[in-house]
Amino acid sequence: MPGYYDINDILMEEEPIAVVFQVGANGVGLLDPGAETNSVEKGAKVDLPFWLAHELYLRQAVSISIPACFGQKTRKEIQADAACVDLRIRCPYFYELGCKIVPLVSDKSIGPFVRYAFTSRYKEILSKSHSAPVATVPKFLPRLTKEETQLFEAARSSMAAFKKWRVGGSRLEKAPILGRKRKTTFPIRPSTP
Amino acid sequence: MYGRRASQLLKELGSCEAGQLTPFDSDSFDQVTKECNKHNLQLQSLIRKIEDQNLDIQTTRNEDHFGAVIHHLSLTRNKRCLMAYMYNRAEVIQSFRWKVGPVLPQEIQEKLNYSEEEYFKSHSAAIESYMSELDLDLTVDMVPPKDPYIRVRVLDDIGEVCLGDHSISLTKHSLHFLRRTDAEQFISQGLMEEFLE
User: pLDDT tens digits for A24-54?
Assistant: 888 887 887 777 788 888 888 889 999 999 9
Q: Which residue has the higher pLDDT, A83 or B123?
A: B123
Would you tell me which residues 99-138 of chain B have a C-beta closer than 8 angstroms to some C-beta of chain A?
99-100, 105-108
Question: What's the whole-number average pLDDT of chain A?
Answer: 82
Residues B154 and B192 sit within 8 Å (Cβ to Cβ): yes
Residues A17 and A64 sit within 8 Å (Cβ to Cβ): yes
Interface-testing mutation among B5, B70, B167, with chain A (most A C-beta atoms within 10 A): B70
CATH classification of B4-134 is 3.30.70.260, yes or no? Answer: no
Cβ contacts of A137 on chain B, cutoff 8 Å: none
Profile chain B (197 residues) by mean pLDDT over runs of 10 residues.
Answer: 88 82 91 94 92 84 89 94 94 88 85 92 94 87 80 85 80 86 82 80
Share of chain A above pLDDT 90, in %: 27
Cβ contacts of A14 on chain B, cutoff 8 Å: 3-4, 7
**Residue A183 CA, distance from chain mean position:** 36
Alpha-carbon gap, residue A24 to A17, rounded angstroms: 18
Residue A182 has pLDDT above 60, yes or no: no
* pLDDT at res. B15: 83
Q: Tell me the nearest-neighbour CA distance from B4 into chain A, angstroms.
A: 8
Residue A168 touches chain B, beta carbons under 8 Å: no
Residue A30 touches chain B, beta carbons under 8 Å: yes
Alpha-carbon gap, residue A40 to A28, rounded angstroms: 7
Confidence of residue A134 (pLDDT cuts 50, 70, 90): low
Domain spans of chain A, in order of start: 1-65, 69-167
Alpha-carbon gap, residue A137 to A149, rounded angstroms: 12
CB within 8 A of A59, min separation 6: which ones? B66, B69
Secondary structure class of B56 (helix, strand, coil): coil
Alpha-carbon gap, residue B95 to B27, rounded angstroms: 25
Alpha-carbon gap, residue B92 to A16, rounded angstroms: 30
Q: What is the dihedral of CA B36, B39, B44, B48, to 10 degrees?
A: 180
* A72-101 average pLDDT score: 89
Which chain A residue's Cα is nearest to B20?
A177
Strand partners, A94: none
Confidence of residue A12 (pLDDT cuts 50, 70, 90): very high
Alpha-carbon gap, residue B118 to B150, rounded angstroms: 35
**Any idea what DSSP says for residue B117?**
H
Which of A176, A187, A193 is nearest residue B105 as measured by Cβ atoms?
A187
Residue A180 has pLDDT above 60, yes or no: no
Residue B55 touches chain A, beta carbons under 8 Å: no
Considering the four listed CATH numbers 1.10.3720.10, 3.20.20.70, 1.20.58.2050, 1.10.10.10, the one that applies to the domain covering A1-65 is: 1.20.58.2050
- The whole-model pTM stands at 0.82
Residue A188 has pLDDT above 60, yes or no: no
Burial class (CB in 10 A: 0-12, 13-18, 19+), B54: exposed
Topology match between the domains A1-65 and A69-167: yes
Q: Tell me the nearest-neighbour CA distance from B100 into chain A, angstroms.
A: 6
Residue A189 touches chain B, beta carbons under 8 Å: yes
* A108-115 average pLDDT score: 90
Which of A4, A182, A187 is nearest residue B80 as measured by Cβ atoms?
A4
Residue A184 has pLDDT above 50, yes or no: no
CA distances from A99 to A95, A102, B38 (A): 6, 6, 33
Confidence of residue A186 (pLDDT cuts 50, 70, 90): very low
CB within 8 A of B80, min separation 6: which ones? A4, A10
Would you tell me which residues 164-183 of chain B have a C-beta closer than 8 angstroms to some C-beta of chain A?
167, 183
Alpha-carbon gap, residue A107 to A110, rounded angstroms: 7
CATH classification of A69-167 is 1.20.58.2050, yes or no? Answer: yes
CB within 8 A of A84, min separation 6: which ones? A143
